Structure 1
Amino acid sequence: MTQPTSIATIQIKNLRLRTFIGIKEEEIKNKQDVIIQVRIKYNAHKAAISDNVDDALNYRTITKHIIEHVENNRFALLERMVKEVLAIVSTHTWVDWAEVEIAKPFALRYADSVALSMEYTRI
């Protein structure tokens, strides 16, 4: 018998952090701003029925892990940072799908930012 579903999408919008990101000497020496977007899909049926926090995916815990990881590490490439943040987001067994986008403001002279995103799908 199939379990009932209520697919929920959690969105963490514009998480602004500072970290070492880049390959130029100035980037290696100075922290820069990054802006992180996270989208997570999971079956929230049990939480929606029970109204119990223990039945819901804890986005606060996920966000704390992201902050700790990004602010306490150094990255040469956005690709590595995005992959590692996506790994944090997708660790919980309830996560069916996730997307992480990280933008580096002012990375290009005439652009607001350069962003890179990756997706995870539970198989």
Structure 2
Amino acid sequence: MQQITPGLARIRIKNLRLRTYIGINEEEILNRQDVVINATILYPANQAVEVNQIDQALNYRTITKAFIQHVETNRFALLERLTQELLDIVMAHAQVRYAEVEVDKPHALRFADSVSITLSASRD
């Protein structure tokens, strides 16, 4: 994980629970399944802190709504693909310096709580 540096804010979206079509087996293709999304986003917040105005901040609500819309209206064969597409949504915001997205698929394995994929990206 990226170290936080002065002036960078860390936004965490924790345990966003959504349902989507994910997988390659017939049952997975025909039935929605739960996914749990966690994201960490770093962006320079100096201006937002100084002026205390939403238009100077990275709007996590906008990102979360984009996640919801994307997950609920698409189908995914692989957890890796879903995770990358969510990471792309975050990185589309020019303010973002670093992002990490983890997607869990609960009960994907018989004796495990979940299986997850984590991907990250950074911008200099």
TM range (shorter): over 0.9
TM-score (ref. length: structure 2): 0.94
Aligned to 1:95, what secondary structure does the other structure show? coil
Find out whether 1:114 has 2:112 as its counterpart. Answer: no
Aligned length: 119
Partner of 1:73: 74
Aligned to 1:117, what secondary structure does the other structure show? strand
**Uncovered stretches (5+) of structure 1, i.e. residues with no partner:** none
TM-score (ref. length: structure 1): 0.95
User: Shift of residue 6 of structure 1?
Assistant: 1.1
Cα RMSD (Å) of the superposition?
0.7
Q: For 1:113, give the aligned amino acid.
A: S
Q: Distance in 2 between matches of 1:90 and 1:40?
A: 9
**Uncovered stretches (5+) of structure 2, i.e. residues with no partner:** 1-5
Partner of 1:28: 29
Percent identity, aligned pairs only, is: 57
Q: Distance in 1 between matches of 2:69 and 2:98?
A: 22
Runs of 4+ aligned residues of structure 1 deviating over 4 Å after TM superposition are: none
| Residues 53-93 of structure 1: CA deviation (Å, up to 9, x unaligned) | 11100000011011000100000000100000000011010
Q: For 1:16, give the aligned amino acid.
A: R
Q: Distance in 2 between matches of 1:116 and 1:79?
A: 6
| Residues 12-43 of structure 1: CA deviation (Å, up to 9, x unaligned) | 00000000000010000000000000100000
Find out whether 1:19 has 2:20 as its counterpart. Answer: yes
